Amino acid sequence: MEPKIRDLRNEIDALNLEILEKLSQRAAIAESIGELQTAAGASHYDPVREAEMLEALTAANDGPFDDATVKSLFKQIFQASMHLENEADKKSYLTSRRADGEDTVVRVRDVPIGGENAPVLIAGPCAIESREQVTATADKLAGVGVSLLRGGAYKPRTDPYSFQGLGVEGLELGRAAADAHGMGFVAEIMDARDLPAFEAHVDMLQIGARNMQNFTLLKAVGQSRTPVLLKRGLSATIQEWVMAAEYLLHEGNTNVVLCERGIRTYEPSTRNTLDLSAVALAKQETHLPVVVDVTHSGGRRDLLTPLTKAALAVGADGIMLEVHPNPAVALSDQKQQIDFETLDAYLEATGYAKALSRERHEVYGF
Ligand code: PEP
Ligand code: MN
């Protein structure tokens, strides 16, 4: 190589290092500004300040780069700084995956959800309809090793003339059915005023899709220490879902399990579209356990097994499933609940039969 070019390239190399050092210094200062802005609740993006900096730079520019090139180079630098500031904010959320990578394990009664624990199964009727119905379901579920019973006592129905749930009586019936087998009981709360009754009867509070952004309810449930199953809203983005969980953690309730239950899309063949990327992303970006409600996702019995396998394959910590002694006469979600025979086939097909018997052995010693 021409010796002159080599010398000039050496000069460029030295300048590159100098520029890098200056850029790093600049980034560190931008981070400090970002921290102060976050503490003050101010935005990191300040277009007026950005315009002023660009103006000062172009005024000082004597070439050989033209003003447009100088502006575009510095805009890149501004953007990179803002990215740093936004990333720092993400890390400071209580829901964000921590640097140590630890998963949160939520204990519902004596059942651990998340971390290295075997995937759980939360099963039971859509709504608690009678003592006979919920008792028969709990008996069946306990018999196959399911340790968490679900059942709605307050139902969020589209049609005001549809069955609305048995209210407190439903909570009492669910509690009794679960207690007969030492099971945990999960039910949906729709109104913060019902919290005392729920705390007296359930082991896990479900916040339904329709209430995911009911901030008054989130704040009230956040004050409780009862574990929460937070469903994703019908049309909620992943970020909105995680921010709803942030409300709960911010209020002090750290026992939060996220539940993907399908989102509303243009696709009519399934009741909702199960968003498996949301499961993978929520697991990646938060430390909270994530379960998948395969019943409300597809709204189809014929998809329960494949959706379960897929959910577990992307890392779900458990599955929620609706089971009813006689779905044909169910007072809600008639088309999607499964009977006991179908449950047996489902447990075999998904591998849950084996997983549950192992868990049962571990818990009860037989
Ligand atoms: C339910 O689980 O009973 C329910 C109403 O589900 P979602 O809130 O997901 O629609
Ligand atoms: Mn239902």
For a substitution probing ligand 1, which of 163, 186, 206 has the most ligand atoms within 8 Å of its CB?
206
Host domain of residue 54: 3-92
- At 363 the pLDDT is 43
State what percent of residues in the chain have pLDDT above 70. 98
Mean pLDDT in residue range 24-40? 93
Q: Is the CB of 209 under 6 A from ligand 1?
A: yes
Atom 4 of ligand 1, residue of closest alpha carbon: 208
Q: Is the CB of 324 under 6 A from ligand 1?
A: no
Is the pLDDT score of 358 beyond 70?
no
Give the domain-ending residue among 58, 92, 126: 92
Identify whether residues 282 and 314 lie together within a single domain: yes
- At 366 the pLDDT is 40
Identify whether residues 55 and 85 lie together within a single domain: yes
- At 169 the pLDDT is 98
Q: Does residue 354 fall inside a structural domain? A: yes
User: To the nearest whole number, what is the mean pLDDT of the chain?
Assistant: 95
- At 178 the pLDDT is 98
Domain of 214: which CATH number? Answer: 3.20.20.70
Q: Is the CB of 261 under 6 A from ligand 1?
A: yes
Q: Does residue 98 fall inside a structural domain? A: no
Q: Does residue 335 fall inside a structural domain? A: yes
- Map the chain to HEC letters: CCHHHHHHHHHHHHHHHHHHHHHHHHHHHHHHHHHHHHHHCCCCCCHHHHHHHHHHHHHHCCCCCCHHHHHHHHHHHHHHHHHHHHHHHHHCCCCECCCCCCCCCEEECCEEECCCCCCEEEEECCECCCHHHHHHHHHHHHHCCCCEEECECCCCCCCCCCCCCCCHHHHHHHHHHHHCCCCEEEEECCCHHHHHHHHHHCCEEEECHHHCCCHHHHHHHHHCCCCEEEECCCCCCHHHHHHHHHHHHHCCCCCEEEEECCECCCCCCCCCECCHHHHHHHHHHECCCEEEEHHHHHCCHHHHHHHHHHHHHCCCCEEEEEECCCHHHCCCCCCCCECHHHHHHHHHHHCHHHHHHHHHHHHHCC
Number of domains in the chain: 2
Identify whether residues 232 and 331 lie together within a single domain: yes
> 165-190 pLDDT, tens per residue?
999 999 999 999 999 999 999 999 99
Identify whether residues 123 and 43 lie together within a single domain: no
- At 43 the pLDDT is 87
pTM above 0.75, yes or no: yes
Q: How far is the CA of 10 from the centre of ligand 2 (A)?
A: 70
> 299-340 pLDDT, tens per residue?
999 999 999 999 999 999 999 999 999 999 999 999 999 999
Atom 9 of ligand 1, residue of closest alpha carbon: 209
Atom 6 of ligand 1, residue of closest alpha carbon: 208
Identify whether residues 114 and 247 lie together within a single domain: yes
Q: How far is the CA of 209 from the centre of ligand 1 (A)?
A: 6
Atom of ligand 1 nearest to the CA of 209: 8
For a substitution probing ligand 1, which of 166, 212, 231, 337 has the most ligand atoms within 8 Å of its CB?
231
| Residue 359 confidence class, pLDDT cut points 50, 70, 90 | low
Identify whether residues 162 and 211 lie together within a single domain: yes
> 108-138 pLDDT, tens per residue?
999 999 999 999 999 999 999 999 999 999 9
